[in-house]
Amino acid sequence: MSKHDAVEVITTKRDGQRLSDSQVDWVVDAYTRGEVADEQMSALAMAILLNGMDRAEIARWTAAMIASGERMDFSSLSRPTADKHSTGGVGDKITLPLAPLVAACGVAVPQLSGRGLGHTGGTLDKLESIPGWRAALSNEEMMAQLESVGAVICAAGDGLAPADKKLYALRDVTGTVEAIPLIASSIMSKKIAEGTGALVLDVKVGTGAFMKSVDRARELAETMVALGTDAGVRTVALLTDMSTPLGLTAGNALEVGESVEVLAGGGPADVVELTVALAREMLTAAGVTDVDPADRLADGSAMDAWRAMVAAQGGDPDATLPVAREQHVVTAPADGVLSRLDAMAVGMAAWRLGAGRARKEDPVQAGAGVVWHARPGDAVRAGEPLLTLHTDEPARFERALASLEGGYDVVPAGTEVAVGPIVIDRVG
C-alpha cells in the first residue's frame, strides 16, 4: 500500500500547508504513471496557484519532475555549454541569432525548444519554415552536432521530464498556467534535466508576456534562479520588456528573415541589443570572458555558424523562405509619431492570421504574420503603411484587424514619446 493518496495531498495544499518531501515525490511519480487522475492533479494545481509553495517545496517538486525521466550529460564535449530560455513573447526570434552567435564565441548551445501556443510564437515553428529543416534529433545526433557546429535547436525528446509534459497540457486547460511555482518548476525541470552548465533566463514583462507586472516577473525570475543555483547550474535572469513586440516582424518565416538580417550585421536595433546582451550573459556564465559577441556578428562568424546549424538539421540556408499568398496593409490614421504598439494586439493578430495555433495539434502557416513599419518613437504619415498583414487565407483578415483595434496610438508630431530600456533588470 502507498503511504499517500491524492485526496490527502490535495487537502494539505488546499488548507494552505506545505507538502512534505514524500508527498511531493509520491504525487509527481503517481501522476506520471497514471495512478493520480487528471481531475485530481487539476485540483492540486489550483491549490498551488491559490496558496503557493516555499523555496524548498518548489525545489523538491522540480527534483521530482526531473526524476520522472532521463538526464542528459554534455560533460564529454570539448567546450562548455550554456542555454537560454525565454518565457515567451511576440516577435521573440532571439533564439535564432543567439544560438549560432554564442557558438561562434566558443560555447556550445544545446537549445531544446518548443512550439507556439496562443499568441506566443514557437522557435521550432519558425525554423520549420526553412525548407528541409527538421526539429527531431536523437541524443546521438544532438551530441555530434554540438561537437561539430556548437549549436543545436531541436525538440526536447519525450524522455526529459515526462511529468512536465503531462502537467503542462493540464495547466493549459484548467486556468493554472500562471502559478509561479508551476511555471518555474516546468521550465527548470527541463533545463536542469537537459544538463546545461549555465542557463540565462529571459523573463518577459508587459502586455504581451505571461507576467504583466515587473514585481511578478521578478518573483518568477528569483524563483527560477534559486532552483538553478540549488541544482548546481549557473543561472541568471534578465527581465526584458514585452509591452512592444520585438523587432519588426511576428510570424514564422518573417522572423527567420529578420534573424538572418541580424546575423548579417543588420536588423532592428532592439533585436540586436537583446541578442548581444543575452550572449554576453551566457558567455560569462560559461566562463568565457575574452570574446565580445558583437565582434562575431560583425565578422560573419555568427552567420557561418547559423548556416552550419541549419544545414546540419537538413535545412537549406540559401532557400527562399515561404511568402503568404495574401497581404493587407493597415495605414497610419494621421501624421505624427507612433507612441504605442501593443505586443498582445500584434501577437493576437499574427495568431489569427495563421502564424500560431489554438490547440497543440493545429497546423501553422509558414508565411503568416504581421510586419510593422514603425516602432514607438518613429514618425508616421497619414495614409502610409503602418502594418502589413500576411496570410494564405483572406477570410482571416477580418478577425486579425479586430484584434489590432486599439492596439496602437499615433500622437501629434513634436510630442515627447518615452521609449523605455529593453533590459529592465538583472537577477542573479
Summarize pLDDT for 248-268 with one digit per residue, the tens: 999 999 999 999 999 999 999
- Which one of 186, 243, 259, 339 is the catalytic residue? 186
Q: Say whether 171 is catalytic.
A: yes
Q: Say whether 186 is catalytic.
A: yes
Q: In which region does residue 337 sit, left (phi positive, over 0), alpha (psi from -120 to 50) or beta (all else)? A: beta
Q: Is 81 helix (H, G, I), strand (E, B) or coil?
A: strand
Q: How far apart are CA 302 and CA 35, in angstroms?
A: 48
- Which one of 85, 165, 191, 390 is the catalytic residue? 85
Low-confidence winner among 110-124, 144-158, 281-295 (lowest mean pLDDT): 110-124
Q: How confident is the model at residue 117 (pLDDT cuts 50, 70, 90)?
A: low
For 107-140, letters b (16+ CB in 10 Å) and e give bbbbbbbbbbbebbbbbbbbbbbbeebebebeee
Q: How confident is the model at residue 347 (pLDDT cuts 50, 70, 90)?
A: very high
pLDDT tens per residue, range 228-244:
999 999 999 999 999 99
Q: How confident is the model at residue 358 (pLDDT cuts 50, 70, 90)?
A: confident
CB count within 10 Å of CB 318 equals 9
Low-confidence winner among 156-165, 175-184, 230-239 (lowest mean pLDDT): 156-165
Q: What percent of the chain has pLDDT over 70?
A: 99
Is the whole-model pTM more than 0.75? yes
Average pLDDT over residues 98-112: 97
Q: Say whether 166 is catalytic.
A: no
- Which one of 13, 84, 165, 190 is the catalytic residue? 190
- Which one of 92, 125, 164, 202 is the catalytic residue? 164
Q: How confident is the model at residue 116 (pLDDT cuts 50, 70, 90)?
A: confident
Q: Say whether 4 is catalytic.
A: no
- Which one of 60, 171, 191, 390 is the catalytic residue? 171
**For residue 9, what are the CA distances in angstroms to 12, 27, 45, 184?**
5, 8, 11, 20
Average pLDDT over residues 307-313: 98
Checking if the pLDDT of 338 tops 90, the result is yes
Helices 95-104 and 269-285: angle between axes, nearest 10 degrees: 50
The chain-wide mean pLDDT, for the chain, equals 95
pLDDT tens per residue, range 1-26:
678 999 999 999 999 999 999 999 99
Domains of the chain: 6-52 (1.20.970.10), 82-160+189-312 (3.40.1030.10), 326-411 (3.90.1170.30)
Q: Say whether 85 is catalytic.
A: yes
For residue 357, the model assigns a pLDDT of 81
Q: Are 6 and 37 in contact (CB under 8 A)?
A: yes
Place of cell 507612441: 339
